[in-house]
Amino acid sequence: MLISRAPVRISFFGGGTDYPEHFLRHGGAVLATAIDKFCYLTASPFPSHLFDYTMRLSYRQVELVKNVTDIEHNVYRECLKFCGLDRDIELHNVADLPAFTGLGSSSTFTVALLHALHSFKGEFVRPLDLAYEAIYVERNLLQDKVGCQDQLMAAVGGFNLVEFRTETDIIVHRVPISAQRLAEFEQHLFVVFTGIKRRAAQVVAHQLEKVVDNTDTLKQMRTMVDDGWNILTSDQCFSAFGHLLHEAWIAKRSLSQVISNPEIDQIYQQGINAGAWGGKLLGAGAGGFILFFAPPEAHSRLQSAFCDRQVLQVKVNAPGSEIIFA
């Protein structure tokens, strides 16, 4: 048996510019970090000659199938077909966090699964190629309306500025930040669960309909990526990063009327009133987790403000997809 794991991510700036519908015309980039919350896949040989089915798959459900084409779970099915596996394998999935919460968990699952399948076959795949494969599976085989940052961050991990040129030409720049400054940065993060789960594709579809109309705003959001990089890699006060996040949220919120709603707006204002410099809803919008960026001394007030909600403790700069047991 082998076990793969891949991290979910927090995206600070540039989300929305990582869709080919935008970056193939105007370029795109994100500033994001992998965090210490993971999706796990186990893969082991399955003795199908002893059973009346050829594969066993588990997630929220369990599937016992004779043919790969009979698999109901579309990501399992397409990844198995893509890797040329059609029998004698058992796969199980567990995760640290639920799906549809704005941290890129769907793409993280795809990356962890592809990594497990390649390793099961004895194949080594470079992290960047693993990201390209996951993008291809999701956008071409599954026809999902997804961007390209989630797969990339799950595959390579770390804290990065990522430039998108094409779906197979992505440049990763590690943020050159000292361990001391990174630890200080981490102390400013405060992540709250809205309690709302949603499928990102439903939000993105509406946003992509307006991608041309939103070109100027998306270009502005791309510029914020460089601004965020400059703050992190200098000795500027972190308050500048928080205020920039607030600007980014205002810009993101303007992309589509379905990105926010009165409940999310209320949660965001609660965080600002409790002392946060800024923040943003993570992922495509409409639900999931909200990130606040606040001085450490304000965190007790944030805890009190959100005592009735789940607060997620996170560490940044997590490693990318890896085989942790074989």
Are 201 and 302 found together in one domain?
A: yes
Instruction: Identify the pLDDT of residue 313.
Output: 96
pLDDT, tens digit, for every residue of 91-112?
Answer: 999 999 988 888 999 999 999 9
Q: Is the pLDDT of residue 201 over 70?
A: no
Are 160 and 295 found together in one domain?
A: no
Q: State how far the alpha carbon of 204 is from the alpha carbons of 57, 138, 207, 223, 320, in Å.
A: 29, 14, 5, 21, 25
- Is the distance from CB of 40 to CB of 31 less than 8 angstroms? no
Nearest to 6 by CA among 31, 43, 32, 37: 37
Number of domains making up the chain = 2
Q: Which domain holds residue 224?
A: 179-312
Q: Is the pLDDT of residue 287 over 90?
A: no
Instruction: Identify the pLDDT of residue 153.
Output: 98
Are 162 and 128 found together in one domain?
A: yes
Are 240 and 306 found together in one domain?
A: yes
CB-neighbour burial class of residue 21 (10 A; exposed 0-12, middle 13-18, buried 19+)? middle
Nearest to 14 by CA among 190, 173, 237: 173
Helix, strand, or coil (residue 264): helix
- Give residue for tokens 């397409």: 78
Are 54 and 196 found together in one domain?
A: no
Are 83 and 231 found together in one domain?
A: no
The Cα–Cα gap between 88 and 82 comes to: 16
pLDDT, tens digit, for every residue of 126-136?
Answer: 999 999 999 99
Per-residue pLDDT band for 202 (boundaries 50, 70, 90) equals low
Instruction: Identify the pLDDT of residue 12.
Output: 98
The Cα–Cα gap between 210 and 197 comes to: 23
Are 32 and 62 found together in one domain?
A: yes
Are 44 and 164 found together in one domain?
A: yes
- Give residue for tokens 């959001």: 221
Tokens, residue 156: 């390579």
Tokens, residue 47: 């003795």
pLDDT, tens digit, for every residue of 38-93?
Answer: 999 999 999 999 999 999 999 999 999 999 999 999 999 999 999 999 999 999 99
Q: What is the chain's alpha carbon radius of gyration, rounded to the nearest angstrom?
A: 20
Per-residue pLDDT band for 284 (boundaries 50, 70, 90) equals confident
> What CATH number should be reported for the domain holding residue 141?
3.30.230.10
4: left (phi over 0), alpha (psi -120 to 50) or beta: beta
Phi, psi angles (nearest 5°) of residue 13: -140, 150
Over range 23-47, report the average pLDDT.
Answer: 98
Are 253 and 321 found together in one domain?
A: no
Are 220 and 162 found together in one domain?
A: no
pLDDT, tens digit, for every residue of 151-180?
Answer: 999 999 999 999 999 999 999 999 999 999
Are 54 and 153 found together in one domain?
A: yes
Instruction: Identify the pLDDT of residue 191.
Output: 98
The Cα–Cα gap between 101 and 104 comes to: 8
pLDDT, tens digit, for every residue of 223-232?
Answer: 999 999 999 9
Share of the chain above pLDDT 70, in %: 98
Helix, strand, or coil (residue 292): strand
> What CATH number should be reported for the domain holding residue 210?
3.30.70.890
Q: Is the pLDDT of residue 207 over 90?
A: no
Q: Is the pLDDT of residue 200 over 70?
A: no
Share of the chain above pLDDT 90, in %: 88
Are 54 and 22 found together in one domain?
A: yes
- Give residue for tokens 């970090």: 33
Instruction: Identify the pLDDT of residue 295.
Output: 98
The secondary structure of the chain in percent helix, strand, coil, rounded to multiples of 5, reads 40, 25, 35
